[in-house]
Structure 1
Amino acid sequence: MSKSAPLYSDTDANTTVIISKRGPISKTLKTQSAVNAALRSGGPVDTQKKMMSGGNRQHTSNKNTARLDEETEELHHEKVSLSLGKVMQQARATKEWTQKDLATKCNEKPQVVAEYENGKAVPNQQILAKMERALGVKLRGKDIGQPLALGPAKK
């Protein structure tokens, strides 16, 4: 039996039924000229606006940008005080060390020591503790600048 071979019904000998595998082919019109040609010929045209299709979604903003523009709170990190930097400079000068010498004693970079002395560093308690031990001067608490009282020797 071929694809379009007629089948006859038992009840009506004059009825012809044609069976085929494929229905009408519907093309997706992708170019503007193809859409215009279909409109001129009276063919069916369905238009849909796709949102965010084909965009790079990993860099999109989920927050409302107007709300972000209206935000007035300024966020910034706490910095060390300038008085701490002066105390560090004085203690370093009494030991006749350079910033590089202090950085070597603390196992830190010279830039870190410079940032603390200029008041631009974000306070880190571990780094301050290293500098206190190296300089022998308190850099934290109420009595900044006082000699560091060494605790009892550990057994």
Structure 2
Amino acid sequence: MLPHQDWNKVSFTGPVGKAKKGEKAVQDAHRKGQEVETVRKHGAGNANRAPPVNMRKLADDDDVVPVAELPHEFRMAMQKARVAANLSQADLAKRINEKQSVVNDYENGRAIPNPQVIVKIERALNCRLPRPPKEKKLKQNEDM
């Protein structure tokens, strides 16, 4: 036998794996007579805080901004053009690289008009669809 070799039996004791966390682990350690150190951290996690002042102002704001809607003519023209092209909503969605729910929302009038999506739909269907009316900007008279 060589001098650097040790053939005696070696046994390891102690925790195996990750250290346990939680109230149950602390109670188990107390029962076994082990030393337990608990540290309560403050300020960690998701603290309940009041929303920023700007969010409060936004929530308290009474101004209702009208949302542009798709006219009935647009929805019907889009649906007729899609059926004439023999495409399902899913097929049209693949062609314009959007979700099928987007095409469904446009046909049912639930979508907010996006000119880029409308242009993609027109190219995929190879037709011109009636555009939704543009919103008029309110001009304020400045009297000084």
**TM-score for both structures, normalised by structure 2:** 0.49
Which structure's relative contact order is higher, taking Cα pairs within 8 Å and 6+ residues apart? 2
Whose Rg is larger? 1
**TM-score for both structures, normalised by structure 1:** 0.46
